[in-house]
């Protein structure tokens, strides 16, 4: 078996009769919105989608960006990028900052009592403006020649991610600015030589979040988890289509193999 993927897990599965809150990361909410069948298989059956390989270079950029903004967090000064983009804010200095960043342990979490679901997520950064409103900030790393925008269809997951974080902080009693920021680090490829280093351009993109959709989707997740049978396959889901095609192919091969064995057996008996 691959060292990177366990086909089935037994921990963290949804139990209808359990009184303990069911914990879901913000990525599971995104999974539910992409494909209810994949979400059900993940949370009820313990069969998740294969995990992607770690983006170690992106993680390094993320780590260094956090260290850089942390210097200004301690000094309560605005980062030069904030001044360049005329953002009236400073990095938010709070003892819970590292906890909020740690998505694997807790992050920023909230118990939605009507469904008994704890939704949680780990933020990259939080800034604060003079009004005392918290600003959700997300770091992204890429390398492309064209202009960096949020217009690509697949970036809806980035927008949802930010809106979920905004919602979580609101539910925890914080004043939250409706505008968040994506800090995009773009690796340059127009250098004559690598010389053991990468140069980057950094762009800050504002995003006006809307959290009105989130609670409805939490109720939707709860309803999905209470189903006795898995939802129908999603024709727009690559994973559903793969499972269906693989299953049909395996069934066809099994029938062919069975037919061959029958023919061999007949030849043996009557040949």
- Per-residue model confidence as pLDDT tens digits over 139-185: 998 888 888 889 888 899 999 999 999 999 999 999 999 999 999 99
Task: Show the DSSP H helices in 79-155 as ranges.
Answer: 80-84, 97-101
Q: What is the mean pLDDT of residues 238-246?
A: 91
To 10 degrees, what angle do helices 36-44 and 26-34 make?
Answer: 130
pLDDT-derived band at 266, boundaries 50, 70, 90? low
Average pLDDT over the chain reads 90
What are the DSSP E strand ranges found in 9-72? 22-25
150/160 Cα distance (integer angstroms): 12
Give the pLDDT score at 161. 96
Give the pLDDT score at 45. 93
Which residue from 217, 263, 238 is spatially nearest to 29, judged by alpha carbons?
Answer: 217
| Percent of the chain residues topping a pLDDT of 90 | 66
What are the DSSP E strand ranges found in 29-131? 90-91, 108-112, 117-121, 125-128
Q: Tell me the CA distances in angstroms from 102 to 117, 201, 205, 212, one per residue in order.
A: 19, 27, 24, 25
**pTM score of the predicted model:** 0.87
26/121 Cα distance (integer angstroms): 5
Give the pLDDT score at 193. 75
Domain boundaries, the chain: 54-211, 237-271
37/99 Cα distance (integer angstroms): 32
61/56 Cα distance (integer angstroms): 9
pLDDT, one tens digit per residue, over 190-216 is: 777 777 777 888 999 999 999 999 999
pLDDT, one tens digit per residue, over 110-141 is: 999 999 999 999 999 999 999 999 999 999 98
Least confident of 7-16, 20-29, 32-41: 7-16
Greatest pairwise CA separation for the chain in angstroms: 92
Task: Say yes or no to pLDDT of 5 above 60.
Answer: no
Pairwise pLDDT comparison (133 vs 266), residue with the higher score:
133
179/135 Cα distance (integer angstroms): 7
Give the pLDDT score at 1. 43
What are the DSSP E strand ranges found in the chain? 22-25, 90-91, 108-112, 117-121, 125-128, 134-142, 179-187, 200-208
Asked if residues 37 and 232 have their Cβ atoms less than 8 Å apart, the reply is yes
168/107 Cα distance (integer angstroms): 10
Give the pLDDT score at 265. 63
b vs e for 110-139, b when ≥16 Cβ sit within 10 Å of the residue's Cβ? bebeebebbbbbbbbbbbbbeeebbbbbbb
Q: What is the mean pLDDT of residues 75-86?
A: 95
Least confident of 89-98, 148-157, 176-185, 222-231: 148-157
pLDDT-derived band at 269, boundaries 50, 70, 90? low
pLDDT-derived band at 264, boundaries 50, 70, 90? low
238/103 Cα distance (integer angstroms): 27
The single residue listed with the structure tokens 């989608």 is 49
pLDDT, one tens digit per residue, over 30-77 is: 999 999 999 999 999 999 888 777 677 788 888 899 999 999 999 999
Q: Tell me the CA distances in angstroms from 90 to 11, 72, 75, 253, one per residue in order.
A: 40, 7, 9, 62
Give the pLDDT score at 143. 85
């Amino acid at each position: 078996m691959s060292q990177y993927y366990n086909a089935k897990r037994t921990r963290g599965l949804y139990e209808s009769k359990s009184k303990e809150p069911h914990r879901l990361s913000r990525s599971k909410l995104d999974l539910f919105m992409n494909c209810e069948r994949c979400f059900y298989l993940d949370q009820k059956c313990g069969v998740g989608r294969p995990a992607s390989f770690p983006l170690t270079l992106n993680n390094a950029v993320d780590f260094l960006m956090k260290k850089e903004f942390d210097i200004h967090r301690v000094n309560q000064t605005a980062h030069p990028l904030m001044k360049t983009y005329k953002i009236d804010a400073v990095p938010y200095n709070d003892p819970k900052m590292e906890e909020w960043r740690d998505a694997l342990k807790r992050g920023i979490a909230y118990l939605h009592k009507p469904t008994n679901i704890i939704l949680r997520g780990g933020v990259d950064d939080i800034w604060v403006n003079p009004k005392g409103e918290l600003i959700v900030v997300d770091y992204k790393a890429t390398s492309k020649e064209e202009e960096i925008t949020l217009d690509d269809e697949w970036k809806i997951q980035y927008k949802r991610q930010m809106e979920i974080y905004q919602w979580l902080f609101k539910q925890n009693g914080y004043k939250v600015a409706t505008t968040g920021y994506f800090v995009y680090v773009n690796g340059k490829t127009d250098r004559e030589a690598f010389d053991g280093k990468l140069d980057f351009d950094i762009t800050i993109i504002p995003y006006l979040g809307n959290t009105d959709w989130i609670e409805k989707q939490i109720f939707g997740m709860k309803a999905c988890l209470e189903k006795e049978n898995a939802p129908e396959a999603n024709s727009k889901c690559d994973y559903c289509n793969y499972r269906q095609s693989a299953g049909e192919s395996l069934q066809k091969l099994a029938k062919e193999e069975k037919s061959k064995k029958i023919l061999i057996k007949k030849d043996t008996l009557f040949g």
